Structure 1
């Protein structure tokens, strides 16, 4: 028992999949683990390893369980180490090839850029590779399976509580339509593009306001300060609101009438799925997997240019036409529930695991240098 969190820890002999999480701060990868593992744990004995920063619902093995990984699990010929970062691939290689632990290595790649030589070296030594989108898969030099992320459609849904607001913020949003944006406040995430687009469109639409949620880390404080100055200079201080980090983003996606995902660079990008699962249409830049998630002209649109003007042109038709927005809302909800449920992602990942376990004999004969 983890006395700090009350978390139950299973026996290492029972665990057949380990999904390490070596990052202390919240990230897209961490969010994926938090959503997936409880669902996967209903079907297989899976646990995370790493700093004790994940929610208590996530099954976890402590570092003291490492020596037990030399023993085979009870029900499989080896465990699977499912890494999602370079810092998690490397320990897996050490454990499999140097310490000779009975492991096979899986890596999920979301990056949409040419990998460094070091990363290619690590990926080339994986037993199976997953890409989260066709675009990310195009940068891989090894065979891979494309498995897009899914979304928890029980958490992200049009039905449920709205944000708990009080004071000035409640008054600013009362009776208003809301264009939302969620993510860390920084240049990479395109928060400035969102602000510029909102400056352009809100001045002629008094029944709309814009809300950006998300944390600003210390190194981006000057960037946020610049945004606030720009908003104040244009007289939009009551219309474009940077509300900071929120405890639960799901109620906000229900409150948004339209969502903008403006990043310049993204790995996969879950927020468009979270918005659409909440019945909220999305306008996004052509980053991450957004073009593979959004049905153009049906659930929203993807803009080609990373500019506030391009976003402004894309949001205007949805803001000005309630019937168009309502149709996109219904289409978004149906699209995500059909194509992107979390259970679909968990099932497709399980198929990759099963393929590794089933081909153990051929692995031994064709790649005899690896631990058997």
Structure 2
């Protein structure tokens, strides 16, 4: 514990975007600084401290004035405040905000007591009332990359390589706009027989009726063999590599990594203007951004790509370069480490 300079608490057992961020960032950060996670719901390969080790946070770390407690939820901000202000632990508190809505009074109270606040996008920053920096999420470009041979990537998933595929990935629910995607495909696929569609993601119990209704719409249109519901997959990177177009139709999103995952895989994106999507997609270069909850606009934007596969390929190539230049996961990890070192009073490594 004396060598631990940063703690990434995770006080929520259920998998979420926050959990995924911790899982991706901490191994990269651990190569440069002493960092551990604390809490349930995290894989065993991450460096961890146990609850019985929490009293060790009362002592200063070796070679630094402070440790950094990096919270991403209210409950984790509260935990850091109790350690710092009640038990006088030598901690500096960082909070990352991904919310794009007005904060409650309780959240504002907690945020005002942080030593550093980070927003994940300019939109998110607009809801903050304290000084902050913007550090956007990055993507693992080693995991998400284009297929060497598209037809083989399609065939490996048991799909028909005679088709080009347009995909929509994520939880199947109204908030995610899955119905907008399905309705657009029902309208477009009869006019474009060389294309098919894939919906990848899980419908939880409360959204199962919603998924059943979508499947019924597809069946009524006679398109059950061309609009495929393939469920949830942990190897989702393989499904991105099989696509020629990705659609992010969400009605609301906090940040949203799927456009980055698609572009890193060499796939162009049609995305609703929610979350950070307008800050991720380069209009007319890597895809297009449309108004949220606008079926007509989505259908038109998708059809532009269905009619012009060469444009889709070009924008996919642009997207890969765009992500590699601006949204590498390593870049996000490095910027956070700079904050940890500055707050902790540890020396920056010499160049």
User: Please, what TM-score do these two structures have when normalized by structure 2?
Assistant: 0.94
Partner of 1:370: none
In 1, Cα distance between the equivalents of 2:154 and 2:312? Answer: 21
Partner of 2:118: 130
In 2, Cα distance between the equivalents of 1:304 and 1:159? Answer: 30
Partner of 1:50: 39
Q: Residue 297 of structure 1: CA displacement? A: 0.6
Q: Does 1:308 align with 2:288?
A: no
In 1, Cα distance between the equivalents of 2:56 and 2:342? Answer: 24
In 2, Cα distance between the equivalents of 1:325 and 1:163? Answer: 17
Partner of 1:34: 23
Q: Residue 81 of structure 1: CA displacement? A: 0.7
Q: Residue 309 of structure 1: CA displacement? A: 2.1
Which of 56, 77, 87 is the equivalent residue of 1:99? 87
In 2, Cα distance between the equivalents of 1:13 and 1:164? Answer: 52
Q: Residue 262 of structure 1: CA displacement? A: 0.9
Q: Does 1:192 align with 2:179?
A: yes
Partner of 1:354: 341
- Helix, strand or coil for the counterpart of 1:252? helix
Structure 1 residues 18 and 175: CA distance shift in structure 2, 3 A: same
Partner of 1:239: 226
In 1, Cα distance between the equivalents of 2:288 and 2:123? Answer: 18
Structure 1 segments unaligned to the other structure (5+ residues): 1-11, 360-372
Aligned length: 344
Partner of 1:207: 194
In 2, Cα distance between the equivalents of 1:37 and 1:297? Answer: 34
Q: Deviations over 1:109-138 (max 9, x none)?
A: 011111111111111111000000001001
Partner of 1:296: 283
In 2, Cα distance between the equivalents of 1:129 and 1:268? Answer: 16
In 2, Cα distance between the equivalents of 1:281 and 1:244? Answer: 22
Structure 1 residues 162 and 29: CA distance shift in structure 2, 3 A: farther
Structure 2 segments unaligned to the other structure (5+ residues): 347-351
Q: Residue 183 of structure 1: CA displacement? A: 0.6
Q: Residue 165 of structure 1: CA displacement? A: 5.2
In 1, Cα distance between the equivalents of 2:247 and 2:143? Answer: 20
- Helix, strand or coil for the counterpart of 2:9? coil
- Helix, strand or coil for the counterpart of 1:242? strand
Partner of 1:151: 139
In 1, Cα distance between the equivalents of 2:82 and 2:203? Answer: 36
Q: Deviations over 1:29-69 (max 9, x none)?
A: 11111111111111011111111x32233211121211211
Q: Does 1:19 align with 2:8?
A: yes
Partner of 1:369: none
Give the alignment's Cα RMSD to 1 decimal: 1.7
CA contact (8 A) 2:154 2:242 kept: yes
- Helix, strand or coil for the counterpart of 1:332? helix
In 2, Cα distance between the equivalents of 1:159 and 1:80? Answer: 40
User: Please, what TM-score do these two structures have when normalized by structure 1?
Assistant: 0.89
CA contact (8 A) 1:196 1:309 kept: no
Runs of 4+ in 1 over 6 A off after TM superposition: none
CA contact (8 A) 1:173 1:209 kept: no
In 2, Cα distance between the equivalents of 1:37 and 1:17? Answer: 10
Q: Residue 159 of structure 1: CA displacement? A: 4.3
